[in-house]
């Protein structure tokens, strides 16, 4: 099938590449000339395991093309996926300017059989608005479909190629059949293709992300409460997770969720609800808990050093919003860095892949180290913000020897508190029953 994908961000690039991998003829369109030049030579603008090899392989097989010119992609395409950004506006709603601009540009080039599919996360009602706009631009009915994407950064190829489910919103069954055919190589009996109304598909994406964000804010609030009452969230997690209705997944306490999706989508759904004159009590709380959770590490550090952080040096391990990505959008590390700098501390930082992005934001304000152990020289404490695998089995004797004060603040509960005590390291995690932490 001939496919066009508009927008070569995370979702667009992975979508285009995975569809070409399953034998389709895919042209990806982006307005950024430099980006397109790089992509043509197989250089990808993001860090995503396995993606670069897949892009190169499909370019070589002449199934994957990149262009800035809509005319090279749209007229022959049966399916046109729109995967442009829908950033958050100041009032929390999604900014759809890019979607409308794309619609205007592609309308005159559409073939009669074309289906225009929105992959970007968009508020309920957007697909119907797009259909109306395409009708007024072309003077005829154009098939529109909603096809939200659930992939996670760092596992994008796997998530796309083995999705838990594929959701499409359509206004007639024939459109659903075409999309079902396209997705067949990725489906299994237990990974179904779910076809529904446009509005339900749009809502599914928000509800999925907001449900996951709710789990995180809930467990973070419980973790904070565990600390205060002398309970241990790890034990509690085990205690609740065996109940199959609850389960274990996505209930790891930490320093709050970040990234390009959860914060934006929670705000957007709040805005959708308010437009319907409904105040979404739970979503508001999820957002508030997350904002304060991003400050929890600083509060622990500040309390330990009795409010005197001026001139102190901290080693920070992990800057990306989660492991296996260089993405620092809405990352909890940024909140911590701002707070520590404001308090007059010096920061020695390391991240396996996100350092360039942090450098672009903070420049000389931070000291950057290629190896995480090199951040420890003369540091007053070690602070862990992202749970990269390489931090999991640390050499504690070395850490102890290097730190001025033998203390670790761990925002991801990577280490065994008892082991830390035996080593003579003071250890503060999230939701652990450390007596010292309850001051
Ligand atoms: C998310 C959704 O998972 C995905 O389905 C959607 O398409 C886009 O948004 P992503 O933003 O890549 O994907 O990251 P994800 O792995 O879901 O993690 C989001 C945040 O939640 C991270 O900051 C992570 O550290 C945090 N998190 C996750 C927790 O704090 N605890 C957990 O138990 C799980």
pLDDT band at 436 (very low <50, low <70, confident <90, very high): very low
Q: What is the DSSP string of 169-232?
A: E-SSHHHHHHHHHHHGGG-BTTB-EEEE-HHHHHHHHHHHHHHHHHHHHHHHHHHHHHHHHT--
The reply, when asked if residue 322 is annotated as ligand binding, is yes
Average pLDDT of span 113-126: 96
Residues 171 and 281 occupy one common structural domain: no
Closest residue (by CA) to atom 34 of ligand 1? 250
pLDDT at 330: 97
CATH of the domain at 310: 3.40.50.720
Residues 226 and 188 occupy one common structural domain: no
The pLDDT tens digits for 209-218 are: 999 999 999 9
Residues 142 and 289 occupy one common structural domain: no
CA distance 132 to 231: 56
Residues 292 and 161 occupy one common structural domain: no
pLDDT at 434: 59
Domain that holds residue 418: 197-439
Residues 272 and 398 occupy one common structural domain: yes
Residues 271 and 239 occupy one common structural domain: yes
Domains held by the chain: number: 2
pLDDT band at 5 (very low <50, low <70, confident <90, very high): very high
Active site residue 261: yes
Nearest atom in ligand 1 to 258's CA: 23
Domain final residue pick, 177, 196, 215: 196
Domain final residue pick, 196, 227, 248: 196
pLDDT at 88: 86
Residues 318 and 402 occupy one common structural domain: yes
The pLDDT tens digits for 26-85 are: 999 999 999 999 999 999 999 999 999 999 999 999 999 999 999 999 999 999 999 999
Tell how far the Cα of 152 is from the centroid of ligand 1, in angstroms.
7
Closest residue (by CA) to atom 22 of ligand 1? 257
Residues 244 and 303 occupy one common structural domain: yes
41: Cβ contacts below 8 Å, ≥ 6 apart: none
The reply, when asked if residue 327 is annotated as ligand binding, is no
Residues 211 and 162 occupy one common structural domain: no
Percent of the chain with pLDDT over 90: 96
Residues 201 and 189 occupy one common structural domain: no
pLDDT at 435: 46
Pocket of ligand 1 contains residue 153 by CB under 6 Å? yes
Please, what's the largest Cα pairwise distance for the chain?
A: 75
Domain final residue pick, 196, 212, 241: 196
ipTM of the complex: 0.92
Span between the terminal Cα atoms of the chain, in Å: 64
The pLDDT tens digits for 155-164 are: 999 999 999 9
């Amino acid at each position: 099938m001939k496919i066009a994908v508009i927008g070569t961000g995370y979702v667009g690039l992975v979508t285009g590449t995975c569809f070409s991998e399953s034998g389709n003829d895919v042209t990806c369109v982006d307005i950024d000339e430099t980006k397109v030049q790089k992509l043509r030579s197989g250089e990808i603008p993001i860090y995503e395991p396995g993606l670069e090899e897949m892009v190169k392989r499909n370019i070589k097989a002449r199934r994957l093309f990149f262009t800035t010119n809509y005319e090279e992609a749209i007229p022959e395409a049966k399916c046109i996926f729109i995967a442009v950004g829908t950033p958050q506006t100041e009032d929390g709603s999604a900014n759809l300017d890019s979607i409308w601009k794309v619609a205007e540009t592609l309308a005159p080039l559409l073939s009669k059989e074309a289906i225009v599919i929105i992959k970007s996360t968009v508020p309920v009602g957007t697909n119907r608005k797009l259909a109306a706009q395409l009708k007024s631009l072309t003077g005829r009915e154009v098939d529109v479909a909603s096809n939200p994407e659930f992939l996670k950064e760092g596992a994008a190829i796997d998530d796309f190629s083995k999705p838990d489910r594929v959701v499409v919103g359509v206004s007639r069954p024939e459109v659903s059949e075409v999309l079902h055919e396209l997705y067949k190589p990725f489906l299994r009996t237990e990974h179904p293709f779910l076809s529904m109304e446009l509005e339900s598909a749009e809502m599914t994406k928000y509800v999925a992300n907001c449900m996951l964000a709710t789990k995180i804010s809930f467990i973070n609030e419980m973790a904070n409460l565990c600390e205060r009452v002398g309970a241990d969230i790890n034990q509690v997690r085990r205690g609740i997770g065996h109940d199959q209705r609850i389960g274990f997944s996505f209930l790891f306490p930490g320093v709050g969720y970040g990234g390009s999706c959860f914060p934006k989508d929670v705000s957007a759904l709040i805005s959708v609800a308010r437009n319907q004159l409904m105040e979404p009590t739970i979503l508001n709380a999820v957002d508030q808990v997350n904002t304060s959770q991003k400050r929890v590490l600083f509060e622990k550090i500040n309390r330990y050093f009795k409010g005197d952080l001026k001139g102190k040096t901290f080693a920070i391990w992990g800057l990306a919003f989660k492991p296996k990505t260089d993405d620092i959008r809405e990352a909890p590390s940024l909140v911590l860095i701002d707070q520590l700098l404001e308090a007059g501390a010096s920061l020695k930082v390391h991240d396996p892949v996100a350092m360039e992005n942090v450098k672009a934001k903070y420049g000389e304000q931070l000291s950057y180290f290629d190896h995480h152990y090199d951040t420890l020289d003369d540091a007053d404490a070690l602070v862990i913000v992202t749970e990269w695998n390489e931090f999991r089995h640390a050499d504690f004797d070395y850490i102890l020897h290097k730190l001025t004060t033998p203390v670790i603040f761990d925002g991801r509960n990577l280490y065994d508190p008892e082991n830390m005590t035996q080593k003579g390291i003071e250890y503060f995690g999230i939701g652990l029953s450390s007596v010292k932490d309850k001051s």
